[in-house]
Amino acid sequence: MQKTRIIVGLGSCGIASGGRKVYEQLQLGIDSRGLDVILEETGCIGMCYNEVLVDVVLPAGNITYKQVTPKMIDRILDEHVIAGNVIPEWTITQEDEICLNKQQRIVLRNCGKISPESIDEYIKQGGYKAIEKVVNGMSRDEVIDEITSSGLRGRGGAGFPTGIKWGFAAKSSGDKKYFICNADEGDPGAFMDRSVLEGDPHSVLEGMLIGGYATCANHGYIYVRAEYPLAIKRLKIAIEQAKARGFIGEHILGSDFSFELEIKEGAGAFVCGEETALIASIEGKRGMPRLRPPFPAISGLYGKPTNINNVETLANIPWIITNGAESYASFGTEKSKGTKVFALAGKIQRGGLVEVPMGMSLREVILGIGGGVAGKHEFKAVQMGGPSGGCIPSSLLDTPVDYDSINQTGAIMGSGGMVVMDDTICMVDIARFFLNFTQNESCGKCTFCRIGTRRMLEILERIVSGHGVDEDIELLEKLAQSVQKTSLCGLGQTAPNPVLTTLRYFRDEYEAHIKQRRCPAKACKELISFVIIDERCKGCGMCIKVCGVKAITGEKKKLHVLDADKCIRCGQCVAKCKFEAIIKVDRW
């Protein structure tokens, strides 16, 4: 008889929500009851908003419990595992199931389903069958043709056809070639690559092996940022397991193909997501882009032909080889084949990871699968492509999610981050936030990137503080265009995108800041004040407790008073007031 299994979601999101304590409490409960139960861990299935997730797998079926805490464990074990009675109020909802069913999971096919630290579980799901098929029955040209026919484009942001890229590296002459996985995921709000590495590292390794075979590379690097310790840990385990089974090393599966693989931990520089800066970092140099040509496919790591793909691109490869290019190309649109993984973050009800066919509308992804904006507020915009992307307004929610359609909005697909914003967000301040990020992350090599972004940031800071002038909008646009045209790498070339798209779709907000010294979203601290509405205040004292500067005074059950001169407009009092007695008003 099949043993009962209990599986705990222990990706970074699950651990941050208390997953380790839940796992430990389950172990204690199982041991103290003498239960013959297998306790396992898995990665993130994508429902980050419901963590900690616990699956109870009985012969009768699988039940998933959401937002589990250690206090819930005794009841789950006694009522469900022992007595066989499901606790319906703790399980994921039918709506959660529908959201999962709307997805097409290729990259995320194993995430949240298998133990990321078990090669046997990966093999049970068909893992390493693709590399076996490749080395035992396909020529290198046949592999490249298959990937080209699939229509797979690089998922790191630029969207260059993967098969064509492999073909360039394969045709380059050299006694040694390199194959690199770019796992330097640096966009704020993006966590696609991290979740794949934490939840299914073997799929990425297998993709690299197939890519190495196709391009005649015999040495690989996974460049992953040191801020991803769990991903690094599970990658190391996966590499050792793959070596022990003969999937990495000399004469793989008895063939003439040999491939060695190692991890390079990056120091967290955003610019190292650019491939030539990444190469410099692996070589031990400062991570700075260089002029191209020559492209890495001709002269890359240590001057040798080098191919670079990101995590999501590589995780697609084994599925394509196993299921065929035609199957993969059946998803998506004419020019954007397959699926795309997105990280939903920000003001969204169901934040987490989703994988959908290319061509699905933003409306379906954000409002359908993501559940729309959390709380009482309205959807305003979505930031796509991270700091290099742009803000797409609510009027364009029916835009299909494919490379060409997203580019037409002024944003870019990027690596797949979607930061959802509601009507409490100031778009001028959002532009300032992202430009501040790219300005800080500029390597400083280009004058326009180094100085131009600084001047743009100064203008935005002046506007959000209420000191903007009429000429600022025209100057911002002029600087943005100059930075785009003259920067060396993608960081500088795309850094103005958040500014240009917010100017394009939300120019009225810029004008309100400059001409009226007013923030329409009431988000910019220098342009707002807080007041207490007399008839709403119950004198509960919660606002006094959270005010760190003692700007609010008053006796219990009596009207409180807010001193505007002392107030630093942190917003804590507004967040804590249950009676909505404290509101934001225009300061001027």
Q: Indicate whether 254 pLDDT > 70.
A: yes
Half-sphere exposure of residue 547, counting CA atoms within 13 Å on the CB side?
Answer: 24
Domain boundary, last residue among 75, 92, 109: 92
Q: Establish if 112 belongs to a structural domain.
A: no
26 and 76 together in one domain: yes
- Write the pLDDT tens digit of every residue in 467-492: 999 999 999 999 999 999 999 998 99
Instruction: Give the residue, 59 or 424, on which the prediction is more confident.
Output: 424
- Tell whether 228 and 156 lie within a shared domain: yes
Closest-CA residue to 152 (of 342, 314, 296, 307): 314
Q: Does residue 7 surpass a pLDDT of 90?
A: yes
Evaluate whether residue 520 is within a structural domain.
no
Asked whether residue 276 is assigned to any structural domain, the reply reads yes
Write down the H helix ranges in 187-273.
192-199, 201-215, 229-244
Considering the chain, what is the average pLDDT of its residues? 95
- Residue for token pair 């032909």: 305
Structural domain tally of the chain? 5
Asked if residue 168 is part of any domain, the answer here is yes
**Is the same domain home to 564 and 474?**
no
Residues 290 and 144 in one domain: yes
504-546 pLDDT, tens per residue?
Answer: 999 999 999 999 999 999 999 999 999 999 999 999 999 999 9
Residue the block writes with tokens 């699988």 = 62
**What residues form DSSP beta bridges with 391?**
383
Strand (E) positions, 348-506?
A: 352-357, 379-384, 390-393, 417-422
Q: Could you tell me if 409 and 436 lie in one domain?
A: no
Contact 192, 340 (CB under 8 A): no
Name residue 93's amino acid: T
Same domain, 267 and 123: yes
Mean pLDDT of 436-461: 94
Q: Domain holding 258: CATH number?
A: 3.40.50.11540
Q: Given pLDDT bands bounded at 50, 70 and 90, which one contains residue 274?
A: very high
Distance (Å, whole) CA 415 – CA 190:
8
pLDDT at 221 over 90: yes
Q: Both tokens of residue 440?
A: 């800080």
Spatial CA neighbour of 152 closest among 102, 196, 211? 211
Check residue 415 and give its pLDDT.
83
pLDDT at 86: 96
One domain for residues 363 and 235? no
What are 536's two structure tokens? 């709403």
Domain boundary among 294, 329, 364: 329
- Give the pLDDT confidence score for residue 588 in this predicted structure: 82
User: Of 158, 140, 156, which is closest to residue 148 (Cα–Cα)?
Assistant: 140
Query: End of a domain among 469, 495, 515?
Result: 515
Sheet containing 352-357: which strands, arranged edge to edge? 352-357, 339-346, 417-422, 379-384, 390-393
Residue 453 and residue 546 in one domain: no
Sheet holding 306-310, edge to edge: 260-266, 219-225, 178-183, 306-310
Specify whether 300 is located in the same domain as 268: yes
CATH number of the domain where residue 18 is located: 3.40.30.10
CATH of the domain at 349: 3.10.20.600
What is the pairing mode between strands 390-393 and 4-9?
unpaired
pLDDT tens digits for 569-582? 999 999 999 999 99
Q: What is the pLDDT of residues 141-186, one digit of tens each?
A: 999 999 999 999 999 877 899 999 999 999 999 899 999 999 999 8
Nearest to 416 by CA among 158, 141, 163, 197: 158
Q: What is the pLDDT of residue 225?
A: 92
Q: Give the mean model confidence (pLDDT) for residues 336-365.
A: 96
317 & 354 share domain: no
Identify the CA nearest to 126 among candidates 139, 135, 114: 114
Quick check: is 546 in a domain? yes
Q: Does one domain contain both 270 and 139?
A: yes
Residue 97 lies in a domain: no
Domain residues for 509?
427-515
| pLDDT reported for residue 36 | 94
Mean pLDDT computed over 59-80: 95
555: domain CATH number is 3.30.70.20
pLDDT of the residue at 1: 61
High-pLDDT (> 90) share of the chain, %: 90
So what's the pLDDT on residue 61?
86
Residue 202, domain member (yes or no): yes
Interval 411-416 mean pLDDT: 88
> Does residue 156 or residue 425 have the better pLDDT?
425
pLDDT above 70 as % of the chain: 100
Q: How confident is the model at residue 98 (pLDDT cuts 50, 70, 90)?
A: confident
- Give helix 497-505 / helix 472-486 axis angle, nearest 10°: 140
pLDDT in tens, 304-321: 999 999 999 999 999 999
Q: How confident is the model at residue 408 (pLDDT cuts 50, 70, 90)?
A: very high
Q: Which of 469, 468, 501, 471 is CA-nearest to residue 484?
A: 501
Q: CA–CA separation, 567 vs 574, rounded Å?
A: 12
Q: What is the pLDDT of residue 258?
A: 97
Torsion of CA 27, 28, 31, 36, to 10 degrees: -30
pLDDT at 388: 84
What CATH number is attached to the domain comprising 454? Answer: 1.20.1440.230
Pair (306, 360) in one structural domain: no
Report in angstroms the alpha-carbon separations of 457 from 434, 450, 487, 521: 10, 11, 16, 20
Q: Is 409 within the bounds of a domain?
A: yes
Average pLDDT over residues 542-563: 94
CA distance 532 to 588: 17
